[in-house]
Amino acid sequence: MIRPRGQRPRPPAPPAPGDVLAEARDLGVRLGTRAVLTGVDLTVRAGEVLALVGPNGAGKSTLLSALAGDVPPAEGTVSVHGRPATRWSAPELALRRAVLPQSPLLSFPFTVEEVVRMGRAPHAACPATTPADDDRAVAEAMAATEVTAFAARPFSALSGGERARVALARVLAQRTPLLLLDEPTAALDLRHQELVLRLCRSRARAGDAVVVVVHDLGLAAAYAHRVALLHAGGVAARGTPAEVFTERVLSEVYDQPVEVFPHPRSRALLITPRREL
């Protein structure tokens, strides 16, 4: 990898537990003439997994993009690592947050390893990063997501679930303190859904902040430290899963009667639609 000269951005210092790595204050986002988010307040802290949940069209993906600095606010502010997102250059921002979009698309026949190695691009200008560091980050990310066995295969030849894991490996290889993941479990089987959420918890234990959009409320309840429940472009409830996932709140937001009860062994919350028998 060619390492350019000139002004070289530096990676941030490792955050301390509880440090605010991203924050939205009175955030409003418009797409065209439509208000997608209105009056959103949200804080993302190091050492936690924050799940964004809510019905289709609630604004989850837009909020994630705004926290990444990819969608400009129409009102309010978004800060990343204590500075307005708009004041970071693109290289500086890429060293501070990594983003997994819903549908990673590639039109060229890159191999799996080449796709994962793209996550190291922001580090190319960092004087302290060596090729050995890049190799180690790529190898560890592929091992964590269980894609090492097909490292030489074309990305385009993979199944949807395999592509999703390779895209996550690229994000992990970027090694930023803030991970923003949009529906990383959507295309995955049961085993790999659990794998991805365990990886989220592992990154949080290591001191990172992870924001993840999920539709499976059971997974959010089992793995998230905090939850933000979005509805109609605002935050309807925030707190721990036990605080947010109540039958009354979920039934109102999803317009569907639900039941919430503890698992008989683990005591984790189970959430299911209420069905008339």
**Distance of alpha carbon 194 from alpha carbon 51, whole angstroms:** 15
The pLDDT value recorded for residue 275 is 82
pLDDT value at 265 more than 60: yes
Q: Which domains does the chain have, with CATH numbers?
A: 20-109+176-273 (3.40.50.300)
Report pLDDT digits (tens) over 195-241: 999 999 999 999 999 999 999 999 999 999 999 999 999 999 999 99
The pLDDT value recorded for residue 174 is 97
Cβ neighbours of residue 20 under 8 Å, at least 6 residues apart? 43, 44, 45, 46, 79, 82
Report pLDDT digits (tens) over 112-169: 999 999 999 999 888 888 999 999 999 999 999 999 999 999 999 999 999 999 999 9
Strands, DSSP E only, in the chain? 20-31, 34-45, 49-53, 75-80, 83-84, 97-100, 178-182, 209-213, 226-231, 234-239, 258-262, 269-273
Average pLDDT on 185-203 reads 96
pLDDT higher at 267 or 56: 56
pLDDT band at 7 (very low <50, low <70, confident <90, very high): low
The pLDDT value recorded for residue 277 is 65
**Distance of alpha carbon 7 from alpha carbon 219, whole angstroms:** 43
**Distance of alpha carbon 2 from alpha carbon 124, whole angstroms:** 7
Cβ atoms of residues 196 and 220 within 8 Å: no
Average pLDDT on 167-194 reads 96
The pLDDT value recorded for residue 3 is 42
The pLDDT value recorded for residue 38 is 97
The pLDDT value recorded for residue 207 is 96
pLDDT band at 5 (very low <50, low <70, confident <90, very high): very low
Average pLDDT across the chain, whole number: 93
The pLDDT value recorded for residue 1 is 43
Q: Which residues pair with 37 in a beta bridge?
A: 29
Average pLDDT on 97-125 reads 89
